[in-house]
Chains A and B, each alone.
Chain A
């Protein structure tokens, strides 16, 4: 997978930005606010529910506003990362509200559907918005979802990867349906999180 992020590896700003931060974030137990953005129907909620609950429900449940979920991931180096996840609504009427949810986020996942070129364009729109208004040290991932539908693929991995590289994001293709690369996605984000210096 594309791991060519050029993000600064050592910056404590992002994690500490979580609203209402009250529990200690030590070097072993990280906590990060993560936001998912992307058009309606690309599979943001499915990705989150696969990661948090290990489930996939093929019936659409259009998100309203944004849903909040959290999940803790244990890494090999025995650190844990608690993700506080904002799964935002992709419907057009909520687009202007996105800052409410990505403000202060330490990581963002921009999702598109590999079977739809328009949705890839929409993903680029979100990337630009985050670059303009998100916190500068935010870790950003570009995710091509529905990889199980490769027969209908419209966006090549190559193009997406190149776009991600140019924008200092890491790129991965996932399937919420088969669970392919879902955990890897979050592990990859976790690894890139700035580690606060042990005190």
Chain B
């Protein structure tokens, strides 16, 4: 299944003429220095380096091999490329193959919000050994081969490499076909073509094609949020248009986005999560937001970090969960929003990719912020007034304190899973005839929750919201957490695989976990148990989890707001 549930058409068609000129300046004479990378210091440990041995793939070699086969290439063709060509000057060429810098592979556990320490490594380019050993590259380039963004290294120095990527993509496009991915040794190269803009991920993280393409879609969405799709106009006027400078100062935004791919379930579930709150508290917040929305604001969002406290749309307007994620990622990673109230043009890609809205953003405290979106460029002072009205209500109803309290205390802990296997509980999923020959766990062996439950994520399909449990001690460090998310992502991809699915349940055991996934019309449940967990027990526990969620739903979900995706 398309990881991206919106039925919006893809962008390969010609753009309709835009009604509104996006406010983009095309004066390229004075390119502003991009100083954001200077403050970023450390590599993301988990995705830092490949081992020397796995440095197999080479895009230029992939390109060469692939050209030989191009006649047989169809839409879905997966090209396997042989051993790397030592003469290649591309992605995995042999030049400068010193391994000196591979020392930092195992940095001690960075905290989840340590993304800012991830370095862009401006000194690197495609000739650097360190650059070639990165586990996961992201590139954005134009269809004329001009670099727009690179996760690592200086875009300008990667012109040659970009041209190689462009050659691969254009070659296929010109023959009326689309390239989806190329496999080269352990590397997978995934392509996404969006009109004049090409997005490419080169990864040896063994994530699924669908998953990686979903990540590229989000990168494209993040770019639209900053520039709108009317950027395409610039390429119509000038195919050699240099877009990189228009993204100046946004490195932290993309860095945080890429980091979120490995820790934020919103990026693969396409759902958002709420901060648990007493119903009355949330009602107080929602009521005043609704008030404001009725007086000319399109969307009012109150969030704490990446969790929703309340959100309201004017009339029947809706915000797609991906847009909520991209918006909060943009705000949380642009530090200037925390300094003072701001008024800034922002495009909400699923709402209207062609035009800017204006966002009034104000942080009430370190992590709680209000965003008011309007289509009126002159609304700042009105929104500022609305904000102080909202602030008064929030203070009176003690909402901000409750939010802080919830942040500290109200996580779902698996140890708190009610013991009572309620008689009302839904019947367990059918067809579990296979008798798993596993040791029954004694209760003291069940580390974590009952029957070895370690963690779960529950997504309400109807609400487009998910909740996840607190990580137990056994999965307490970020590396373990990333690994679990990776396992969930894999599960997600296979559950939604169109060719062999859709599946209703899946039970998977490996050395790390027992994973159980269950999808119904109403929800998707992903649960991780300790690797020795018993299957029947696990299923029983999952029923209890679902019942538990239903008992808590008024506190852990936002209801009554118009947030359904279209």
Contact = CB atoms under 8 A, between A and B. Distances in A.
Interface residues of B, number: 39
A62 B381 CA distance: 23
Contacts of A59: 39
Given A60-B35, A60-B36, A62-B334, A95 B27 contact: yes
Interface string B342-379: 11111000000000000100000000000000000110
Centre residue among B25, B359, B377, B382 by max chain A CB count within 10 A:
B25
A137 interface: no
Contacts of B248: 40, 62, 91-93
Contacts, number: 100
B342 A65 contact: yes
Residue picked from A39, A65, A66, most chain B C-beta under 10 Å: A65
Given A40-B33, A64-B344, A19 B249 contact: no
Contacts of B226: 93
Contact of A121 (B24, B30, B249, B339): B30
A142 to B, nearest CB: 17
B371 to A, nearest CB: 12
A73 to B, nearest CB: 18
A68 B25 contact: no
A19 B378 contact: yes
B339 A45 contact: yes
B459 to A, nearest CB: 31
A197 interface: no
Given A93-B227, A95-B25, A61 B339 contact: yes
B413 to A, nearest CB: 36
Interface in A88-126: 89-97, 100, 118, 121-122, 125
Most chain A CB atoms below 10 A, which of B227, B248, B382: B248
Nearest to A125: B30
Q: How large is the interface on A (under 10, 10 to 19, 20 to 34, 35 or more residues)?
A: 20 to 34
A97 B343 CA distance: 11
A62 B35 contact: yes
Interface string A69-94: 10000000000000000010111111
B566 to A, nearest CB: 28
B436 interface: no
A158 interface: no
A62 B36 contact: yes
A95 B247 CA distance: 13
Contact of A41 (B32, B380, B382): B32
Contacts of B381: 19-20
A39 B245 CA distance: 13
B206 interface: no
Contacts of B341: 67-68
Nearest to B384: A68
Contacts of B384: 68
Nearest to B378: A19
B485 interface: no
Contacts of B27: 92, 95
A65 B343 contact: yes
Given A40-B32, A45-B339, 5 more contacts: A63-B336, A63-B342, A92-B30, A92-B245, A93-B226
